[in-house]
Amino acid sequence: MASKSDNTAARPVSAKVVVSGGFGVGKTTFVSAVSEIAPLRTEAKMTSAATGVDDATFVQQKTSTTVAMDFGKITVDEGLVLYVFGTPGQDRFGFMWNDITAGALGALILVDTRRLDECFNAIDFFESRDVPFIIGLNQFDGAPEHDPELIREALDLSDAVPIMRTDARTPDTALDTLVALLSHILESLSAAAAASPTPAPDSREPDREAPVVSDAQRSAAMSALAAERG
Ligand SMILES: Nc1nc2c(ncn2[C@@H]2O[C@H](COP(=O)(O)OP(=O)(O)OP(=O)(O)O)[C@@H](O)[C@H]2O)c(=O)[nH]1
Ligand SMILES: [Mg+2]
């Protein structure tokens, strides 16, 4: 029979990641594609007045916009549950970003290649908070298929930031993108742990191994996610 302490040990670890980016780049679509529960969406109708304010040139069919956040959940296995939060895209809801992103391990920044400038705010936001992020080029119909390295140059991103094509409407592709984000988060955590100063030799702290994520742990997490995709 399981003891009380066994129950505690079996509780899954939860982690929070964020899907962000500019207006109408596919954040709500992405969260809906990957979530195993009916995603929480806080969409409001875009009135003609709002359409005048928002840059809807390339999103003509868009009739609604996120006014608070998107929320979805993915159970990777009994040991790990991922909570996926989507930010609102319009500048006027920017004041909510701090609350929505608090405690996030990392972010996916979606980009519409026809409107690169839409993602600058998100890049600045996560860079300035040292939150690891990857770029997902969401392929819209008729959008140019730029070489990701040209996009890296245009966005002035370091080589350390992964840039990949994605399709927010397709669950398999969207999950692949989340796997890439998790992998990047694990690498960033490993690098940060390896770079942290070692304690002074006379420290009273007992000897502990540095919390570096091992290759085995990384590949276990990756295969659990791949299995989740079926
Ligand atoms: N062709 C194509 N259309 C997409 C893709 N992803 C999203 N869309 C469409 O683009 C529009 C905007 O998608 P949303 O998911 O609402 O975008 P959003 O980033 O949440 O928008 P805001 O919350 O208003 O900033 C919708 O009509 C989607 O159906 C994609 O990968 N390809
Ligand atoms: Mg949205």
Q: Is 93 in the pocket of ligand 1 (CB under 6 A)?
A: no
In a domain, 199, yes or no: no
Closest CA to 133 of 158, 151, 110, 107: 107
In a domain, 111, yes or no: yes
Q: Decide which of 10 and 161 is more confident.
A: 161
In a domain, 52, yes or no: no
What pLDDT score does 43 carry?
84
Query: What CATH number corresponds to the domain at position 136?
Result: 3.40.50.300
* Model confidence at 52: pLDDT above 60: no
d(CA 16, CA 100): 10
Structural domain span for residue 130: 12-47+61-194+211-228
* Model confidence at 228: pLDDT above 50: no
Q: Which ligand is nearest to the CA of 143?
A: 1
What pLDDT score does 143 carry?
86
For residue 15, report the distance from its CA to the centre of ligand 2, in Å: 21
For residue 114, report the distance from its CA to the centre of ligand 1, in Å: 13
Dump pLDDT digits (tens) for 184-214. Answer: 999 999 988 888 776 655 555 554 443 344 5
* Model confidence at 93: pLDDT above 50: yes
List the single range of 3-12, 47-56, 167-176 with lowest mean pLDDT: 47-56
Q: Is 165 in the pocket of ligand 1 (CB under 6 A)?
A: no
List the single range of 27-31, 119-123, 189-193 with lowest mean pLDDT: 189-193
Q: Are the C-beta atoms of 72 and 32 separated by less than 8 Å? A: yes
Q: Which ligand is nearest to the CA of 90?
A: 1
For residue 92, report the distance from its CA to the centre of ligand 1, in Å: 18
In a domain, 218, yes or no: yes
Q: Are strands 64-77 and 40-45 parallel, antiparallel or unpaired?
A: antiparallel
**Which atom of ligand 1 is least distant from the CA of 46?**
24
In a domain, 2, yes or no: no
**Which atom of ligand 1 is least distant from the CA of 90?**
25
**Which atom of ligand 1 is least distant from the CA of 138?**
31
In a domain, 204, yes or no: no
- Please report, rounded to a whole number, the percentage of residues in the chain having pLDDT higher than 70: 75
**Which atom of ligand 1 is least distant from the CA of 166?**
31
Predicted TM-score (pTM) of this structure:
0.82
What pLDDT score does 98 carry?
93
Burial per residue of 157-185, b for 16 or more beta-carbon CB atoms within 10 angstroms, e otherwise? beeebbbeebbbeebebbbbbbbbbbbbb
Beta strand segments in the chain, E: 13-21, 40-45, 64-77, 80-86, 106-111, 133-138, 163-166
What pLDDT score does 37 carry?
85
In a domain, 66, yes or no: yes
- pLDDT class of 63 with cuts at 50, 70, 90: confident
Q: Which ligand is nearest to the CA of 24?
A: 1
Q: Decide which of 53 and 198 is more confident.
A: 198
Vertex 59: Cα angle to 53 and 61 (nearest 5): 105
* Model confidence at 34: pLDDT above 70: yes
* Model confidence at 122: pLDDT above 80: yes
Number of compact structural domains in the chain: 1
Dump pLDDT digits (tens) for 13-25. Answer: 889 999 999 999 9
Hey, is 210 helix, strand or coil?
coil
Residues with CB under 5 A from ligand 2 (ion): 27-28, 66
Residue nearest to atom 6 of ligand 1 (CA): 26
- Mean pLDDT of all residues in the chain? 82
34 alpha carbon, distance to own chain's centre: 12
In a domain, 203, yes or no: no
Max CA distance (Å), the chain = 68
